Amino acid sequence: MAEQPVRTEDARDAPPPYPVPPADQRRVPVAVKRDVLPAISVLSTISLLGLAVGFLWSRLAPGLLVQIIEDGKPAALRTESYHRFDDLVLFLLLGLAAGIITGAALWLMRERRGPVLLIAAVLGSALAAWLAYQVGLSWAQGRFELPAAPQVGDVLTLAPRLESIWGILAWPLGTALSYGLAAAWNGRDDLGRRLG
C-alpha cells in the first residue's frame, strides 16, 4: 500500500474556509455614552409629534349621532354605532403611519444608528401616542359641544371617543418595525454608521 504524502504546511498558514471581514469591521462596540444626549433629543422630539397626531385625529374622527329618549338618555341612531369602531381604527392607522415614518426618518440619522436610538424612539413613540390619545379626546370634546338642556327627541352629535387604550401601541410598534426592517436589510455589524 502506498503511503500518503504528509502535509508539511502549518495549519495556521492555511487560509480559512470562510471569508473573514477586515480587522476594523469584526467587532463594533455600541457607543452608549456618545448616543445618550441625541437619544434624549429624539425621545422629546417624537413625543411632541403626539400633539399633531392628536389634533389630526380630533378633526378626522366622526361624531356619533344620538337621539334623546324619554328618560333623558342618549340612544345611538341606527348604523351610527359603527363610528365607535371607526374612531379606534382611525387612531390606530394614524399611529401606525406615524410610527413607520418615525422609524424611517430615524434610520436616516446614519451616524447615530443603533440600539440606543431605537430604544429612545420606541419610548418617545409610546409617549407621543399617549399624548395623542389624551389631547385628541380633549380637542374632540371641544369640537362637539352639547347644549345645556337637551329636549326629548333632539338629535345631537356626541364627540368621538376611544374605548380602548390599546390603540397607543400602534405608534411604537410601527417605529420598531420600520427601524428593525431597515437594520435587518442593512446587514452590516455597524449598521452603516461609519461613512467610509
77 within some domain: yes
Q: Say if CB 107 and CB 193 are below 8 A apart.
A: no
46 belongs to a structural domain: yes
Tell me, yes or no, whether 120 lies in a domain: yes
For residues 56-70, average pLDDT: 85
pLDDT band at 115 (very low <50, low <70, confident <90, very high): confident
| Domain-located, residue 115 | yes
Band of residue 196 on the pLDDT scale cut at 50, 70, 90:
very low
Q: Is residue 140 part of a domain?
A: yes
1 is a domain residue:
no
Residue 7 included in any domain? no
Q: Which of 72, 62, 49, 50 is nearest to 140 (CA)?
A: 62
User: How confident is the prediction for the chain on average, in pLDDT?
Assistant: 82
Banded model confidence at residue 36, pLDDT cuts 50, 70, 90: confident
Question: Looking at the predicted structure, is the pLDDT value of residue 61 above 80?
Answer: yes
3-state helix, strand, coil in the chain (%, to 5): 60, 5, 35
Domain count, the chain: 1
Q: Above 50 in pLDDT, residue 135?
A: yes
Q: Is residue 2 part of a domain?
A: no
Instruction: Report residue 28's pLDDT band, with 50, 70 and 90 as the boundaries.
Output: low
What is the pLDDT averaged over residues 101-117? 88
Residue 162 is part of which domain span? 42-179
